[in-house]
Amino acid sequence: MKYEIFSLLDWIYKKKCYFCRSSKESIRMCSNCYKKLTQLPTKTQRIIDEVNVYCAGIYSKELQKLIRGLKYHNQKDLAYFQAKFMYEYWQKLGNTGDFQVVAVPLHKNRLKKRKYNHMEIVAEEFCRLTNYEANPNLIKRIKDTKPQYKLTKKQRLGNLHQAFIVDKTKLLNKKILIIDDICTTGSTFEEIIKELKQNGIYDIICFATTTPF
């Protein structure tokens, strides 16, 4: 209820920072709060089936609130700031070439409940910053999986087994950059990588906004 009240107040008055409630800049994440986001060292965080996985920051404090605000509380304006944070990290990696950006898809049941895929919005903002092309139709989630956060690594892999399919008719002649908000064990990326490689697609990079570790 408080988020609806805040939205109404933003409409009546100047837009307030979602984090500190300051209205000086009339944006949803002011400069001071954005500066509190801390990047991880610029390196490969893990390798899954020969695919590099990068994570831009640690899932804590302002970054945690940013992701949860966009994901669960309809704060769609925050997608730009999440994308900007990822973009600033991505620039330091030095990956060259053109990419098609694929957000980890939601199952239709969860999409119906949530009304939007938050990572597709982030992907669109990320593409505006990079001049890449978003490709929301390449991968579909066909299994309505359980929430992952309480599951072990083994349970996560079982939960995600055959959860995704690739539509090769939607494949662009570009490298693939898969993006997600949180990479914990890497199980989601692992299952998507497996499905892509089974379809003869190998030029892949995975990139998450955060990791809990």
Give pLDDT tens digits for 59-106. Answer: 999 999 999 999 999 999 999 999 999 999 999 999 999 999 999 999
- CA distance linking residue 172 with residue 189, whole number of Å: 20
pTM value is 0.90
Q: What is the mean pLDDT of residues 130-150?
A: 87
Sign of CA dihedral 162, 165, 166, 169: positive
What is the spatial order of strands in the sheet that 99-103 belongs to? 46-48, 51-58, 204-211, 175-182, 99-103, 133-134
Mean pLDDT of the chain: 91
Assigned fold of 37-211: Rossmann fold (3.40.50)
State which amino acid sits at residue 19: F
**Domain locations in the chain as residue ranges:** 1-33, 37-211
**What pLDDT is stored for residue 7 in this prediction?**
54
DSSP 173: S
